[in-house]
Amino acid sequence: MPVKVIKGRGLVNGKGHGEILFSPEPISFYGGVDPLTGIIVEKGHSLYGKSVKDKILIFPHGKGSTVGSYILLRLKRKGLAPSGIVNLETEPIILIGCMIASIPLMDKPEDLLSKNINGKKAEIFVKKDLAFLRVMYE
Amino acid sequence: MEAVVKVGEVLGAERLIRIVNAHISGISYRNIGDEGLEFLKSLAEKGARFSVPTTVNPAGMDLSKWKEMGVTEEFAIKQLEILDALRFMGAKLALTCTPYRYIKIRFGDHLAWSESSAVLYANSILGARTNRDGGPLALFEGLVGSAPLVGMHLSESRVPTVVYDLSNLRSECNMVSELGYFIGRAEKRGVPAIINLPKNFSEIKNLKLFLASIGTSSGIAMVLIQGISPEFKEDYLKGLDVVKPMKSDLVEIRESFFTKDGVVVLGCPHLSPEEIAELANKLKDSRVTKRMILFTSRDAAKLARNQIKLLQERGVDVFFDTCMVVTDLKNMGIKDVVVDSAKAAYYLQSQGYNVSLMSREEALEYACEGN
């Protein structure tokens, strides 16, 4: 099984694995993701109707209300959170959300990620200065 | 500490700076839910304490009149638990979006505030320095007592990026909310300078509405207003693009909100004691024919006790500790509202209410129609 390792900047330590869910658009967790189901409910969003549960969620950065940080925590407590997040360049909403919810987070991936990695199995690993995403290509 | 340092790294801050005060949003149980509550409780239990004076935004209900607001007992208990956790950590439960009215802020003070209308007021009117921090970030900054030295904390960020010349609007001071919303929507970021102000624009009530409305349609944290902002300098305007809004620009925004009939709801941002006195004075000899609700803080109420009593006698409801944006007006059987704030108009419309936007004077006339 060919594997590709993509390094990035590690922000919140941890490891997780799951299918990749890729969004070319920013995500607002407050109002955009239902905290009771983990499903993306923002109208017109390219991931509308998809669940973030146990996914390696890849999106450019967060947007919207900073209450979004608490929504990540809500999702985690209910077992509905992504197993890891990769941003192009993160901002405080996602960063603080991942910190308080203990969701592994890296940003600035060295390779530009695109839609064709959607659905691939992947693993995220973040520990201090070492952060990478391992994508399994079948 | 780790959270604040990390945010600083992500934002490219060279170091942290000591702050003198923090103000936290995300207080309403409706917004932060059980997880927000649990998070605050666990912080309090772990011994977290604010290291600088810290105030908090409005809650989801009036702490004494929540039953009148149609709030359920379950909601009330959870809301009180949130407030208990914050109090335990040492916050002052000001429960207002206008903390600048009740705490002493000085020119040049570094703050960690997370209520956009208050951030705009602090930077633009008081010359204090704060970014538009998120609720959880301001909470951590209040615990740590410092904030990343970036954005509005730096002098180099506090210079104008565009000029708004209001000379076409000399007599349009009754559309300050629309004007703020217009500028925010057009600019999104940066530091607009505002020159050639309409008459009466500089009244505090107008500035509050104007700034809150800018904050609603943009990420702007500061404007430099001629004759008002302590950091406004004519020299800085040279070479910048100049925009001259027309009355029709503002009318278009006003007309994007419409309801045929509605409850008059004022107090976004929270009314000051002076604004309450002005309303009481205007309603002294009349009685409202429409339902009218005012939102303010308990600190304001202490300073305007008699005026509030008079307003209540004239048929006006006055609530403290909360506001129309963070509580559910639906619980009071309200679906249609008339407001004077584009911030309230925007958030209430997005919550599914039918909304009309008018000036405060027009809203008062409307409330007294047929008297």
How far off is chain A from B26, nearest CA to CA, in Å? Answer: 6
Full domain range(s) for residue A95: 3-136
Token representation of residue B250: 């503002």
- What's the domain count of chain B? 3
Look at residue A124 in the predicted model and tell me its pLDDT: 98
Which residues of chain B lie closer than 8 angstroms to A71, CB-CB? 35
Per-residue pLDDT band for A44 (boundaries 50, 70, 90) equals confident
- Do B346 and B361 sit in the same domain of this protein? yes
Number of residues written out for chain B: 371
User: What DSSP character marks residue B198?
Assistant: P
Could you give the count of Cα atoms lying within 13 Å of B73 in the half-sphere of its Cβ? 0
For position A75, which CATH number holds? Answer: 3.50.30.10
Per-residue pLDDT band for A53 (boundaries 50, 70, 90) equals very high
Per-residue pLDDT band for A128 (boundaries 50, 70, 90) equals confident
Q: Do B36 and A70 touch (CB under 8 A)?
A: yes
Q: Do A73 and B35 touch (CB under 8 A)?
A: yes
Residue after which a domain boundary falls, among B155, B183, B208? B155
Q: Do A67 and B135 touch (CB under 8 A)?
A: yes
Residue after which a domain boundary falls, among B253, B284, B317? B253
Look at residue A96 in the predicted model and tell me its pLDDT: 93
Look at residue A82 in the predicted model and tell me its pLDDT: 98
Residue after which a domain boundary falls, among B155, B189, B218? B155
- Do B138 and B207 sit in the same domain of this protein? no
**Facing residue for B137 by CB, picked from A35, A77, A96:** A96
Q: Do B7 and A96 touch (CB under 8 A)?
A: yes
- Do B147 and B172 sit in the same domain of this protein? no
pLDDT at residue A65 greater than cutoff 90: no
Q: Work out whether strand B146-148 and strand B16-18 pair parallel, antiparallel, or are unpaired.
A: antiparallel
- Do B293 and B337 sit in the same domain of this protein? yes
Q: What is the spatial distance between Cα A92 and Cα A72, in angstroms, rounded to a whole number?
A: 13
Which tens digit of pLDDT belongs to each residue from A18-35? Answer: 999 999 999 999 889 998
Determine which one of A28, A46, A65, A83 is catalytic.
Answer: A65
Q: List all residues 6 or more positions away from B178 whose beta carbon is below 8 Å from its beta carbon.
A: B213, B250, B251, B253, B254, B342, B357
- Do B135 and B234 sit in the same domain of this protein? no
How many CB atoms are closer than 10 A to CB B110?
Answer: 17
Q: Do B133 and A92 touch (CB under 8 A)?
A: yes
Is pTM beyond 0.90 here?
yes
How far off is chain A from B68, nearest CA to CA, in Å? Answer: 27
- Do B43 and B166 sit in the same domain of this protein? no
Beta bridge partners of A136: A3, A121
Cis peptide before B269 (omega within 30 of 0): yes
With contact defined as beta carbons under 8 Å apart, do B341 and B209 qualify? yes
- Do B26 and B131 sit in the same domain of this protein? yes
Per-residue pLDDT 10s for chain B (371 aa) are 888 998 998 888 999 999 999 999 999 999 888 888 989 999 999 999 999 999 999 999 999 999 999 999 999 999 999 999 999 999 999 999 999 999 999 999 999 999 999 999 999 999 999 999 989 999 999 999 999 999 999 999 999 999 999 999 977 678 999 999 999 999 989 999 999 999 889 999 999 999 999 999 988 999 999 999 999 999 999 999 999 999 999 999 999 999 889 999 999 999 999 999 999 999 998 889 999 999 999 999 999 999 999 999 999 999 999 999 999 999 999 999 999 999 999 999 988 999 999 999 999 999 999 87
ipTM of the complex: 0.79
**Facing residue for A93 by CB, picked from B31, B33, B134:** B134
- Do B92 and B193 sit in the same domain of this protein? no
Look at residue B350 in the predicted model and tell me its pLDDT: 86
What single-letter amino acid sits at A26? P
Per-residue pLDDT band for A138 (boundaries 50, 70, 90) equals confident
- Do B6 and B151 sit in the same domain of this protein? yes
- Do B125 and B173 sit in the same domain of this protein? no
> CA B104, B107, B110 angle in degrees (round to 5)?
80
Residue of B nearest to A36 (CA): B33
| Best CA proximity match to B236, nearest among B247, B225, B252 | B225
Could you give the count of Cα atoms lying within 13 Å of B354 in the half-sphere of its Cβ? 9
Q: Is residue B371 part of a domain?
A: no
Which residues of chain B lie closer than 8 angstroms to A13, CB-CB? none
Full domain range(s) for residue B266: 257-366
Look at residue A63 in the predicted model and tell me its pLDDT: 87
**Facing residue for B26 by CB, picked from A35, A66, A90:** A66
- Do B54 and B171 sit in the same domain of this protein? no
Q: List all residues 6 or more positions away from B188 whose beta carbon is below 8 Å from its beta carbon.
A: B218, B219, B220
Q: What would you report as the CA-atom Rg of chain A, rounded to the nearest whole angstrom?
A: 13
Look at residue B354 in the predicted model and tell me its pLDDT: 97
Residue with token string 């059987």: B333
- Do B103 and B117 sit in the same domain of this protein? yes
How far off is chain B from A20, nearest CA to CA, in Å? Answer: 24
Look at residue A66 in the predicted model and tell me its pLDDT: 81
- What's the domain count of chain A? 1
Active site residue A65: yes
Percent of chain A with pLDDT over 70: 99
Q: What is the spatial distance between Cα A66 and Cα A73, in angstroms, rounded to a whole number?
A: 12
Q: Do B136 and A77 touch (CB under 8 A)?
A: no
Look at residue B205 in the predicted model and tell me its pLDDT: 96
B174 φ, ψ to 5°?
A: -85, 10
How far off is chain B from A32, nearest CA to CA, in Å? Answer: 13
